Each structure stands twice: as structure tokens, then as C-alpha cells.
Chains A and B, each alone.
Chain A
Amino acid sequence: MSTAPNVIRRALNGAYTLTTLTLFVSGTAIFLIDNVAETTRIIGESMTPAISPDYNTTGASDGLLFNKWAPSLRNLNRGDIVLFHSPNDPEKVAVKRVIATEGDSIILDARRRPTRQRDGAELPETRAWDSMMGRVVMVPEGHIWVEGDNWRNSGDSNRYGPISKSLVQGKAVAVVWPPKRFGTRPWEGFRSRTKVTPGEIPRDGEGAGLINAIRNG
């Protein structure tokens, strides 16, 4: 019965179904990408050779799957690859490796002195880094020290200092692109030249007095 009202009714029905289906699918996708897992391409050569090894020759970037489930982001271990909002630009997202967590003491790697990219001139960050070089620096409470694997070209904590753990959005699970490296975790087994002495922020006991005084005002 293809009368005009029926055709219109069927078209409206189809449009309604399509709209609700699109809203439902996109809403669920947004919820999952925000809270459960997300895949993103890693551009830049700061994590070579583990991730995006051919970026500066062919421009090929790896795709990584990140776990964004909040409870599992509470334990970050040294060596994890994390996705975080960049402290210098809130709209940019960066991917680096966790070198030290709160309470650890680190000795900076002399090769990673931050200078201007094109000509090696000194920046304000260079002066801050020089004041930390040679001394033992403790990562403050609630913060982590992140570095890119490629010491030659990486904007990381050597430039902007330890970052707050609240900035971390996700933890890398596995590579998903290119297909021949699907499921691998090529970043494991990296030895960092930044020396880390594990430690903890004292919560109870003798050293806790000052820390608790600061925490509680």
C-alpha cells in the first residue's frame, strides 16, 4: 500500500530510527572513549625507537590503545607509558614514559639538558634544569617524572618539571597499528639513564610531621 501518507510515515519512521540509533551509538562511544579505553596515534619522535620508530623518516605513526579506567590509573609504575594533558598547553595531549613516582629521588641524565630546538640556545628551562643537575631531586607528592625515550628530541619533565598525577588520562596497553605489530608492547625493557632511588612520601611516622602539616594546612 504505497499511498502518499504511508510513504511519508515510513520515511519519518526511518528517519526517527536512524536518528535515535546514531545518538545511541555515538553516546555510548563517547562514554566508552572518555572512561574506558581510547586509541590514538603517536606523532613525534620523542618515544623512538619503541613507538613510532619511523616517524622522522617516513612520517608513519603508531597507534596505541590506552586504558582510561580511573581505578587502574591510580597505580602508575615506573616504566609505564602514560597519556596526559600537556602542562604547557591544556589542549594538547602528550605520551611519555613514567620514570619516577612520588617520593622517589632522581639524579638527572646529563644528556637531557633542555635547550632551544633549532640552535641549542639557552632557555629559562635550561637555568632551572641546571640548578637541579648534580643534586638529588625528590619528586613531590602526587606528581610523577616523565621522560621520552629519545633523549635527543623530547619535551618532557626535563623541560617542565614533574607533572601532577591528576593530569594523566590513560595508560598504554598495546600497539594496535601497524598490523604487523598489533598486540605487542615494544616499550618494555627500557633502561633509563636517569637514576632513580625509590622512595615514598611518609604518611605516618617521624618524617610525616612536615608533610602532614602542609597537607592539612
Chain B
Amino acid sequence: MLRSSLTRLRINRDASILLRLVQRSRLASSKTPPKPNAFDFHQKRTSETIVPPASSQWTLSSFVRPLPDLGRIPSNVAAYLFCACIAFHIFSEYGFVLEGAYGISMLPTIASDGDWLWISKYYRRGRDLKVGDVVSFRHPIRPGEYAVKRIIGMPGDFVLRDTPEKGHMMMQVPNGHCWLVGDNLTYSRDSRMFGMLPLALITGKVLGPVRWSGWTIPYLEKLEHGLQPAVLDDGDVE
């Protein structure tokens, strides 16, 4: 029952296609002039009077030559690609981004090579940052470079200017700045070298390196805060 109706549908469709083909060929070979279309106005304007369209309604498209058809698929792909680029840029500028890290200054928290850091851009320019956060920032001395260090002092805090064994001068962090130190104290170029960092240079907070469990499944390893509360070591004294 269904099959017979489907075949009837197909017969009808094929018949209508055939009919349309016949009509078109008849039109092409007919003696009467074809219906005027947009092309004709430009081509025959000088020699013949303009024949209004059959529907006797002038529209803008009556006078404008239509654009050549580029082919629908390539222009769609280009538009989607452009939109994807814009969307990716906005997401990585204001949302989250994955950045590769290289260097030994944050060992053992971040590996010296091959670690990919998941950075949240919500914390850019110092918003909601606290002492102990690992942040990425634009380098103050080498324009165009980025670095990753840990915040040791926020505005108002007192920080040690040098490595603990090498000096005991302390400074107060002024408004709008922070003090950064790398986890690997011996091999880290941080605020002990370039001084207070303006918070405006901070581009985001490192939520953690992306590590692999079992070589196939990525997971985010949360970074330790670094500051432990003071513990009263109340061992029994015999």
C-alpha cells in the first residue's frame, strides 16, 4: 500500500520534471520574444523601449544586474571560518585559554617543558586575586613576552625584597602593584629582579597544568595555594 503510493509519487515527480523540461525547450525555440528579465534592460536600452516586467510592478531588482553566483558552498565556509576565528579570539581573550609553559623558574609546580597551563582570563588586571595565586603576566622589561609567577604580596602587604638568606629589607606593596616570586627561588627572575609589578600587566590566573592520566584522559591538576596556616607544634616535652 505504502510502496504503491511512493511509486505513484515518483512517477508524478518525474512527470513534472519532464513537463518542465519540455516547456523550457519550447520556450527556447519559440518565435515569440521571451519574457523580459533584468539582463535585457541593460543590453537593449539604447535600441528598444523598456518593456515593463510582466507583473507590471517595478522593483529595484528590475534595474540592477544580479551578482554572479560564487557558488554557495565556498562563501558559507569562509563566513563560518571567520565567525569561528572571532569567537575563538573572544573566548581566549575573556574566558579561558591554554598556554604552553617553558622554563625552570616554577619547579616543581610547573614542569620545565611540555606543560600546558589552563588560564582563566576573569582574573586579568588583578581582579579577585589573592596571595598564593599563580598568575600569567606581560613581562615588564621584555615587551611582548609573557611569564608565570606566584603572587607573594598584594597592595598593602609587606614583602621581603631579596631572597631570605641574602637580605632582610622589607617593602610595602603600593596601590595597583603586586610582588611576584617564582617557586624555584634560585633560578627565578621575578620581582626580586624587576621590582613591583603593576597589576594592569596581569593577564590571567593559572588554574593548573593539564596533565594526562593513563596517557589518554586529560585532567586539570589544581595548583596548591602555597601558604599553610601556622601550626602550633605542641609536642609533648618530656
Point out the residues of chain B lying under 8 angstroms from A167, CB to CB: 198, 200-201
| Contacting residues of chain B (179-209) with chain A, CB-CB under 8 angstroms | 187-189, 193, 198-202
Task: Assess whether A89 is in contact with B140, with CB atoms less than 8 Å apart.
Answer: no
Task: Assess whether B201 is in contact with A28, with CB atoms less than 8 Å apart.
Answer: no
> How many whole Å from B64's CB to the nearest CB in chain A?
22
Is A141's beta carbon under 8 Å from chain B? Answer: yes
Task: Evaluate whether A74 and B86 lie within 8 angstroms (CB atoms) in the complex, with A34-B93, A90-B176, A90-B198 already known.
Answer: no
CA distance A142 to B175 in the complex (A): 21
Task: Assess whether A166 is in contact with B125, with CB atoms less than 8 Å apart.
Answer: no
Instruction: Give a binary string over A55-66; 1 marks a CB under 8 Å from any B CB, 0 the rest.
Output: 000000000000
Q: Which of B2-10, B11-19, B141-149 contacts A (4 or more CB under 8 A)?
A: B141-149
Task: Assess whether A214 is in contact with B201, with CB atoms less than 8 Å apart.
Answer: no
Pick the contact of A91: B89, B125, B138 (CB < 8 A).
B125
Task: Assess whether B93 is in contact with A87, with CB atoms less than 8 Å apart.
Answer: no
Chain B: residues with Cβ within 8 Å of the partner, total of 28
Point out the residues of chain B lying under 8 angstroms from A215, CB to CB: 141-142
Is B81's beta carbon under 8 Å from chain A? Answer: no
Pick the contact of A88: B176, B187, B188 (CB < 8 A).
B176
CA distance A81 to B139 in the complex (A): 22
CA distance A30 to B144 in the complex (A): 21
Point out the residues of chain B lying under 8 angstroms from A202, CB to CB: none
Is B83's beta carbon under 8 Å from chain A? Answer: yes
Using CB atoms, name the residue of chain A closest to B126: A90
Task: Assess whether A142 is in contact with B141, with CB atoms less than 8 Å apart.
Answer: yes
Task: Assess whether B90 is in contact with A74, with CB atoms less than 8 Å apart.
Answer: no
CA distance A70 to B138 in the complex (A): 13
Point out the residues of chain A lying under 8 angstroms from B174, CB to CB: 88
Pick the contact of B176: A74, A87, A165, A217 (CB < 8 A).
A87
Task: Assess whether A217 is in contact with B187, with CB atoms less than 8 Å apart.
Answer: yes
Instruction: Give a binary string over A112-153; 1 marks a CB under 8 Å from any B CB, 0 the rest.
Output: 000000000000000000000000000011110000000000
Is A16's beta carbon under 8 Å from chain B? Answer: no
Task: Assess whether B125 is in contact with A90, with CB atoms less than 8 Å apart.
Answer: yes
| Contacting residues of chain B (114-148) with chain A, CB-CB under 8 angstroms | 125-126, 138-144
CA distance A90 to B142 in the complex (A): 20
Is A40's beta carbon under 8 Å from chain B? Answer: no
Using CB atoms, name the residue of chain B closest to A84: B200
CA distance A166 to B144 in the complex (A): 7
> How many whole Å from A23's CB to the nearest CB in chain B?
8
Is B150's beta carbon under 8 Å from chain A? Answer: no
Point out the residues of chain B lying under 8 angstroms from A89, CB to CB: 175-176
CA distance A31 to B86 in the complex (A): 7
CA distance A87 to B125 in the complex (A): 11
Task: Assess whether A24 is in contact with B86, with CB atoms less than 8 Å apart.
Answer: yes
Point out the residues of chain A lying under 8 angstroms from B140, CB to CB: 142-143, 164, 166
Task: Assess whether A27 is in contact with B200, with CB atoms less than 8 Å apart.
Answer: no
> How many whole Å from B183's CB to the nearest CB in chain A?
15
Using CB atoms, name the residue of chain B closest to A165: B143
Task: Assess whether A164 is in contact with B125, with CB atoms less than 8 Å apart.
Answer: no
Q: A90-B200, A166-B140, A167-B198 are in contact. List 14 more A-B contacts (CB 8 A).
A: A31-B89, A31-B90, A74-B143, A74-B144, A85-B200, A86-B200, A87-B198, A89-B176, A140-B141, A142-B139, A142-B141, A163-B198, A166-B201, A214-B193
